[in-house]
Chain A
């Protein structure tokens, strides 16, 4: 097979690709912040409240985790206008990604909360901590520290899954790639370039998350977040 690679053609569309990269970064960072915040709130609510709240949170988590991301995006973009709620493609992508990531974060943080040993809570009570202090210092922060590597993996997966948003006309990196491909028919070249960009973005995101982890939980947790396969927390 004699295929002549022509990366110069792709280089002409530099601005187009940079626009795509920028939207992918914006969508990923915002959905990670919003999704993980929602995850902390929902996981706390279900562990504190129980009953109906727990049932509703679990139902949400299971519905999102057991349906395809693409279908969720279609429902936000094509379905909500039927209910009179019309959002643009970028907003729809952000909503879809946040809803999806919130469900996964809730599930991961729930596992962390359930892994907190009861005697530790009792120790907190014995030391005269208030309920809020116990929840903050003994339960939620150590819980998130334990599952931080798993959360980071999920964040990176979400960043990569943002490529699916091109299906609802969100003009992120995958859409830029498809546009350049449809203009030049240089599929190999553009997808090689875009694969490398996604790889670089994923590694940069991991490094960034490791720094955040170091700031929040100290060096050991951050190191685990950097490894590709999270170690089992000690």
Chain B
């Protein structure tokens, strides 16, 4: 009797504990319901990195991310408010609640995954080393003693720092276009750019004689939610799956990069 009383008390205590934990979890992870009851969805998209995200001649956000964000809003059946963000502003904007989630060409990294939660990849591109007309690089070892421009906080910066090429000087700018400008102005020997961005710049400035050296890694890009928004992440993963099998994502990839989306492992 005594034991069963104790058991009952214990079960009740655990029950209360679980219920209160669940209510705490509810309070933190109601983002999907919040978005639906608010009636609009605020999506952070990348800006300043054509063709992934930029502004058109009328000043409206446009690009790969914007098309995907609009598709997502369509699946949610909600009007969308696009918030253009520069690369360093993406994660802070998400953390401070300025946007509900990011469709901002953000590459998952171990470090980033400590502060935001990633979906499965919705786009991918090669990360290229591009140089001027006077020299061409074929491997990371060629970059010894050279100045390479990167965009601050980007995955190419992380990858280059990790590669730790001896004598390689990493020069940091605010976005991809300023980094490319550093190469064109001769302030850097090379620039590390996503192939999509690199091809766009080579096409825009044929006079600069820029050339692609080599691809140093392939980057998949994920949407990102706040660390506690599991429901929202699961919903986004479902939507990405649907957009993959319907061919919508391939259409967006064809439109902006001229080739279908590369196949990447999902997680």
A interface vs B, CB < 8 Å?
1-2, 77-79, 81-82, 86, 89, 166-169, 175, 178-179, 181-185, 187
Closest to B149 in A: A169
Q: Complex Cα distance A135/B185, Å?
A: 45
B88 touches A167 (CB 8 A): no
User: What are 24 inter-chain pairs, A to B, with CB distance below 8 A?
Assistant: A77-B185, A78-B182, A78-B185, A78-B187, A81-B186, A89-B187, A167-B174, A167-B178, A168-B173, A169-B173, A169-B187, A175-B172, A178-B88, A179-B172, A181-B88, A182-B88, A182-B152, A182-B153, A182-B157, A183-B111, A185-B91, A185-B111, A185-B112, A187-B92
Question: Which one, A169, A184, A185, contacts B182 given CB within 8 A?
Answer: A169
- We find that the number of chain B residues with CB closer than 8 angstroms to chain A is 24
- Quote the shortest CB–CB distance from B230 to chain A (angstroms): 17
- Quote the shortest CB–CB distance from A179 to chain B (angstroms): 7
Q: Is B171 among interface residues, defined by CB-CB distance under 8 A?
A: yes
Q: Complex Cα distance A192/B97, Å?
A: 19
Chain A residue numbers with a CB within 8 Å of B91 are 185, 187
Q: Is B257 among interface residues, defined by CB-CB distance under 8 A?
A: no
Q: Complex Cα distance A169/B191, Å?
A: 13
B185 touches A82 (CB 8 A): yes
Chain B residue numbers with a CB within 8 Å of A1 are 97
Closest to A88 in B: B187
Extra 5 A-B pairs, beta carbons < 8 Å, given A178-B153, A182-B88, A185-B114: A1-B97, A167-B174, A169-B187, A182-B153, A185-B91
Closest to B154 in A: A182
Number of residue pairs spanning A and B whose beta carbons lie under 8 angstroms apart: 51
- Quote the shortest CB–CB distance from B2 to chain A (angstroms): 41
B171 touches A81 (CB 8 A): no
B187 touches A77 (CB 8 A): yes
Closest to B150 in A: A169
Closest to A168 in B: B173
A178 touches B111 (CB 8 A): no
Q: Is B95 among interface residues, defined by CB-CB distance under 8 A?
A: yes
- Quote the shortest CB–CB distance from A162 to chain B (angstroms): 16
Contacting residues of chain B (6-64) with chain A, CB-CB under 8 angstroms: 28
B152 touches A179 (CB 8 A): yes
- Quote the shortest CB–CB distance from A66 to chain B (angstroms): 24
Q: Complex Cα distance A78/B185, Å?
A: 5
Closest to A178 in B: B152
Q: Is B70 among interface residues, defined by CB-CB distance under 8 A?
A: no
Chain A residue numbers with a CB within 8 Å of B173 are 167-169
Q: Is B181 among interface residues, defined by CB-CB distance under 8 A?
A: yes
Chain B residue numbers with a CB within 8 Å of A181 are 88, 153
Q: Is B115 among interface residues, defined by CB-CB distance under 8 A?
A: yes
Given the known interface contacts A178-B153, A182-B153, A185-B112, the answer about A169 and B88 at a Cβ–Cβ threshold of 8 Å is no
- Quote the shortest CB–CB distance from B140 to chain A (angstroms): 21
Given the known interface contacts A181-B153, A185-B91, the answer about A78 and B111 at a Cβ–Cβ threshold of 8 Å is no
Closest to A167 in B: B174
Most B CB contacts (10 A, CB to CB) among A77, A167, A184, A185 go to A185
4 cross-chain pairs, A with B, having the tightest CB-CB distances, nearest first: A182-B153, A78-B185, A185-B115, A81-B185
Q: Complex Cα distance A64/B28, Å?
A: 51
Contacting residues of chain B (157-182) with chain A, CB-CB under 8 angstroms: 157, 171-174, 178, 181-182
B172 touches A169 (CB 8 A): yes
Chain A residue numbers with a CB within 8 Å of B95 are 187
Q: Complex Cα distance A130/B172, Å?
A: 55
- Quote the shortest CB–CB distance from B186 to chain A (angstroms): 5
Chain A residue numbers with a CB within 8 Å of B174 are 166-167
Chain B residue numbers with a CB within 8 Å of A178 are 88, 152-153, 172
Chain A residue numbers with a CB within 8 Å of B157 are 182
Chain B residue numbers with a CB within 8 Å of A2 are 28
A78 touches B181 (CB 8 A): yes
Q: Complex Cα distance A89/B149, Å?
A: 12
Chain A residue numbers with a CB within 8 Å of B185 are 77-79, 81-82
Given the known interface contacts A78-B181, A185-B112, A185-B114, the answer about A89 and B153 at a Cβ–Cβ threshold of 8 Å is no
A86 touches B187 (CB 8 A): yes
- Quote the shortest CB–CB distance from B40 to chain A (angstroms): 21
Chain A residue numbers with a CB within 8 Å of B186 are 81, 86
Q: Complex Cα distance A175/B171, Å?
A: 11
